[in-house]
Chains A and B, each alone.
Chain A
Amino acid sequence: MAEPRILIVDDEGDLAFTLAERLQLRGFSARGVTSGEAAIEVVQHESPDAVVLDVKMPGTGGLSVLRTLKSLRPHLPVILVTGHGSRENAVEGMRLGAFRYLMKPVQIEELVALLHEATRGPGGGDG
Chain B
Amino acid sequence: MDDTCSAALHEAELSFFGAVTASLSHQINNVLTIISELNGLSEDLLAMTAAGDLPVERLRATTARISGNLERCVEYLQVLNRFSHSADQESATCNLGELVCLLRSVTSRFFELRKVNLELNLPEREVVVVTRPFAVLHVLYRALRSALAASGEGETVRLALEAAPEHVDIRVSPMPSEREIPAGEADLASLAPLCRCLGAQAAFVSVAGVSTLRIVLPPGPSPSAVLETR
Contacts and interface: CB of A to CB of B under 8 A. Distances in A.
Interface of A: 12, 14-15, 18-19, 21-22, 25, 56-59, 61, 83-85, 104-106, 108
Given A59-B153, A83-B29, A22 B48 contact: no
Interface in B23-40: 26, 29-30, 32-34, 36-38, 40
B152 to A, nearest CB: 11
B69 interface: yes
A21 to B, nearest CB: 6
Contacts of B44: 22, 25
Nearest to B45: A25
Interface in B201-229: none
User: What 4 pairs across the A-B complex have the smallest Cβ distances?
Assistant: A105-B33, A18-B37, A14-B34, A15-B34
Contacts of B34: 12, 14-15, 18
10 contacts: A12-B30, A14-B38, A18-B65, A22-B37, A25-B45, A85-B22, A104-B33, A105-B36, A108-B37, A108-B40
Interface in B1-54: 22, 26, 29-30, 32-34, 36-38, 40-41, 44-45, 48
A105 B113 CA distance: 20
Contact of A25 (B37, B48, B115): B48
Contacts of B69: 14
Contact of B115 (A56, A59, A85, A105): A59
B125 interface: no
Decide if the interface of chain A is mainly helix, strand, loop or mixed.
loop
A84 B115 CA distance: 23
Contacts of B33: 15, 104-106
Given A15-B33, A56-B26, A59-B115, 4 more contacts: A14-B69, A15-B37, A58-B115, A106-B37
B37 A58 contact: no
A69 B26 CA distance: 26
A14 B65 contact: yes
Given A14-B69, A58-B114, A85-B22, A22 B40 contact: yes
B26 A105 contact: no
A103 B153 CA distance: 28
B41 A83 contact: no
Given A14-B38, A22-B40, A22-B44, A105 B32 contact: yes
A58 B114 CA distance: 6
A33 to B, nearest CB: 16
B112 interface: yes
B38 A18 contact: yes
